[in-house]
């Protein structure tokens, strides 16, 4: 089955550890991962990884995508440089295409008003409250939250973040999804056998 690409936003200071589980296993499931930057000029992660974006943000169309992933970055909290990515997230959600945001990207979405009427989470509630957004009553103290096509998670939950992405896109379901999470989050060796069996039959 042909799938539309998953778009991974990349920008200077992006947190390279937050999306690796998700993109690696989406790629294994047959999704093309396309990086989208502010332009096509190279960017550098917090860890110093140099990435050449496959496309510029203004080239990304929701109709040509399965999902937009927004990692955290220092720039979310130190400037307005990444505001266009939050606006792109609004465009995706308005078109019915899902968005997944982790860490600082959740603050960017809060500033854009996208968390005002959706259940959501982040690092801590007061981090988002500092943005002045109107969705404080909808904050959920959980590892990751999905509400109407929008996934949010805090910086210490890249595995739960990936779990919600897999659930939303139907990459893994039921006991297989649970086993994947237990393996990578809890180092549960018994979960490996469940995944092996699923891969052998799938």
Among the options 68, 100, 102, 103, which is catalytic? 103
Catalytic (active site) residue 55: no
First-to-last CA distance in the chain?
14
Which structure tokens are listed for 78?
């130190």
Active site residues: 103
């Amino acid at each position: 089955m042909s799938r539309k690409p998953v778009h991974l936003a990349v920008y200077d200071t992006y947190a390279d550890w937050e999306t690796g589980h998700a993109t690696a296993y989406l790629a294994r499931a047959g999704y093309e991962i396309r990086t989208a930057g502010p332009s096509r000029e190279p960017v550098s992660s917090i860890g110093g990884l140099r990435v050449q974006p496959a496309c510029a943000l203004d080239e990304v169309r929701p109709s040509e995508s399965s999902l937009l992933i927004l990692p955290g970055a220092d720039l979310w909290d130190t400037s307005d440089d990444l505001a266009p990515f939050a606006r792109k997230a609004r465009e995706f959600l308005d078109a019915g295409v899902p968005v997944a945001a982790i860490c600082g990207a959740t603050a960017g979405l809060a500033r854009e008003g996208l968390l005002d009427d959706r259940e959501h989470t982040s690092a801590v509630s007061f981090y988002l409250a500092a943005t002045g957004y109107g969705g404080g009553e909808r904050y959920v103290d959980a590892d990751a939250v999905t509400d109407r096509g929008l996934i949010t998670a805090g910086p210490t939950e890249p595995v739960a973040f990936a779990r919600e992405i897999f659930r939303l896109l139907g990459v893994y379901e039921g006991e297989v999804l649970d086993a994947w999470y237990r393996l990578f989050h809890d180092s549960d060796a018994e979960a490996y056998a469940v995944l092996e069996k699923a891969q052998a039959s799938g």
